[in-house]
Amino acid sequence: GIIQSGPGSETQLPWGQITAVYVYKKDCLAFDDIRIVLGNEELKTWIEVTEQDDGYRELIGELPRRLPGCLSSEEWWQQVALPPFETKWTRLFPKP
């Protein structure tokens, strides 16, 4: 699954507990940052991973393998990345 550590906290989300995955683009003034939000809607547990985080590339590759029906980056990247500076929230799992 996914583990996110922060100062004094750790959030764990096993693959089998993930019920939703979203991707969006955040306008950071000089550049855009694509972010993945994974979570369990029932437990209200969410993890956000940015392009700058270690493991980001591995995560987007694993999502369609670990979550059957999840859109692959080839299916969503261009839709989210373009045009620049637009948020473009997109649901990856469960498939819209």
pLDDT of residue 86: 83
Distances (CA, A) of 89 to 3, 24, 36, 37, 79: 23, 4, 10, 10, 10
pLDDT at 37 over 80: yes
58 burial via Cβ count (<10 Å: 0-12, 13-18, 19+): exposed
Q: What distance in Å separates the CA atoms of residue 55 and residue 78, rounded to the nearest whole number?
A: 21
- CB-neighbour burial class of residue 14 (10 A; exposed 0-12, middle 13-18, buried 19+): exposed
* Residue 84 pLDDT grade (very low, low, confident, very high; cuts 50, 70, 90): confident
Q: What is the pTM of this model?
A: 0.89
Output the average pLDDT for the chain.
91
Q: Are 35 and 25 in contact (CB under 8 A)?
A: yes
Cβ 18 vs Cβ 85: under 8 Å: no
Q: How confident is the model at residue 95 (pLDDT cuts 50, 70, 90)?
A: low
Q: How confident is the model at residue 16 (pLDDT cuts 50, 70, 90)?
A: very high
Exposed, middle or buried: residue 8 (CB in 10 Å: 0-12, 13-18, 19+)? exposed
Q: What would the mean pLDDT of 6-35 be, rounded to a whole number?
A: 89
